[in-house]
Amino acid sequence: MRVKKLSVFIETYGCQMNEYDSDRILNSLSGIPVNNPSDADVIIVNTCAIREKADHKATSALGRYKNLKKSNPNLLIGMTGCVAQLYGKKLIKQIPYLDFVVGPRSIPKLMNIVKDLKDSLDVKKIETSMDVQEVFEIHPYHKKDKVNGFVSIQQGCNKECAYCIVPTVRGKEINRSLEDILEESKLLINQGAKELTYIGQTVNSWKHNGERFHNLLDYLGKLGGLERIRFTTSFPRDVTSKMIDSMKNNPKICRQLHLPVQSGSNKVLKSMNRTYTIDWYRESIRKLREAMPDLSLSTDIIIGFSNETDEDFQETMKLIEDIRFDTVYSFKYSIRPGTLGEKMDVHVSDEIASDRLYKLQKKQKEISLENNIQHISKAYEVLVEGVSKNNSDDLFGRTTHNKVVNIRNLDRSFVGKMVNVKIKEAFQNSLIGEIY
Ligand code: 5AD
């Protein structure tokens, strides 16, 4: 007898790891993705706990699906991801229509959980163990011929940054074996992926059986059929000369690096427990740019951490003006449960933090636009990903620098192809180009 496949609707919050996990959830359920929650047998909200706001968003998102149970009493509603891990049982107690809560490490167990629930609808399931045995077992769902995909090479994090909840909800660092990474890469390439982004919380600290991250990059460079390689997120202390050499010598590795600095002040970096100084960070950037002059850099910055003074903030402003990142993701500090930061008793007021955030974002918008204007009249190879979000007559893709380029008047048959594009116009977050 053929068993009907489950229709699954997943709403995803947070980082690329969560997007990847959502694709693994689909495969772990052997599910068919649906775009409309009312068509689903199972609805899952895959959550993010990085800041308090994200964490609230997750629980309120669930509320939107509550009424669907009236028209479909067999519907299962579940929460996965970091908020699920953080609050576990509490969620089941508080939210009566929630059927299951599953943490990031337990995704491989989802199929059994859902099967059990289908058998007896009045039961609730909670799975938040940090059991590591099968953590990398499930490959992600990949829509046929989708141009890009993610491959996780690491779970959890061994750093102890004072503000960060990730080690609490995703556990200690576990690195995936080289064989598994290559196997999953080949699987996605066979399904049509041309560009793969390798992900981990501190991706460049990857090591396994004596191999280090730069060795991994060398192996990935040899994968047939793969045109582009990206990786994120790198930890500044783990940028080595060998890693820079591997990037430089491998034309498939994109000229793009996301290197979160968090603050421009040594005092703040120390209280964040980031384990590097700002001079060290600047020196790494100098080496990277010396090796790859066109490298596009992006970073993350937290504003208003614990004892950040106006002077400290000015040092962060100076840093972004000196480095001129292409993109800066900046956030107001949010105290998270169980972190070292939670125990600190000095805090910047919300008003001051908002004011600093505004000033930083205003400056960065100018820099991003000025950087993008530099690309006008230049020609780049663009890997075409699909129909442009702004105009259905245009296609979009990205340059090696991870710049989104909307390409005018391009036939859809170019999706998945590398094309030569001349840049005509520049905005803060994207470019417009024409094929030539
Ligand atoms: N408050 C604000 N921002 C945070 N980040 C991590 N934890 C916090 C927090 N408690 C930011 C960091 C990190 C990015 C993913 O989120 O900048 O690099």
Q: What is the 3-state secondary structure (H, E, C) of 259-285?
A: CCCECCCHHHHHHHCCCCCHHHHHHHH
Q: Compute the average pLDDT of residues 278-288.
A: 98
Please tell me the distance from the alpha carbon of residue 370 to that of residue 428, in angstroms, as a whole number.
Answer: 8
Q: Is the CB of 19 under 6 A from ligand 1?
A: no
**50, 340, 344: which to mutate for ligand 1, most atoms within 8 A of CB?**
50
Tell me the three state secondary structure of residue 187: helix
pLDDT in tens, 43-73: 999 999 999 988 888 889 999 999 999 999 9
Q: How far is CA 17 from CA 151, 202, 210, in A?
A: 9, 12, 25
CA 49 to chain centre: 13
Which tokens hold the place of 99? 């059927």
For the four alpha carbons of 328, 333, 336 and 340, in that order, the dihedral sign comes to positive
Distance 183 CA to ligand 1 centre (A): 32
**19, 51, 199, 340: which to mutate for ligand 1, most atoms within 8 A of CB?**
51
pLDDT in tens, 331-377: 999 999 999 999 998 889 999 999 999 999 999 999 999 999 999 99
- Pick the closest to residue 3 from 35, 38, 42, 29 (CA basis): 29
Instruction: Give 234's contacts (C-beta < 8 A, 6+ positions apart).
Output: 202, 203, 204, 257, 258, 259
Q: Does 2 score more than 60 pLDDT? A: no
Q: Does 328 score more than 50 pLDDT? A: yes
Q: What is the amino acid identity at position 29?
A: L
Q: Is the CB of 259 under 6 A from ligand 1?
A: no
- Same topology, domains 7-127 and 379-435? Answer is no
pLDDT in tens, 4-30: 789 999 999 999 999 999 999 999 998
When mean pLDDT is compared across 108-117, 132-141, 250-259, 425-434, the lowest value belongs to 132-141
148-372 carries CATH number 3.80.30.20: yes
Q: Does 94 score more than 60 pLDDT? A: yes
Residue-range domain boundaries for the chain: 7-127, 148-372, 379-435
pLDDT in tens, 135-183: 888 999 998 889 999 999 999 999 999 999 999 999 999 999 999 999 9
- Give 7-127's CATH code, choosing from 3.30.930.10, 3.40.50.12160, 3.40.50.2300, 2.60.40.1930: 3.40.50.12160
pTM of the model: 0.96
CATH topology of domain 379-435: OB fold (Dihydrolipoamide Acetyltransferase, E2P) (2.40.50)
pLDDT category, 1, cuts 50, 70, 90? very low
Average per-residue pLDDT in the chain? 95
Query: Residues of the chain with pLDDT > 90: what percent?
Result: 86
- Pick the closest to residue 253 from 184, 325, 204, 209 (CA basis): 204
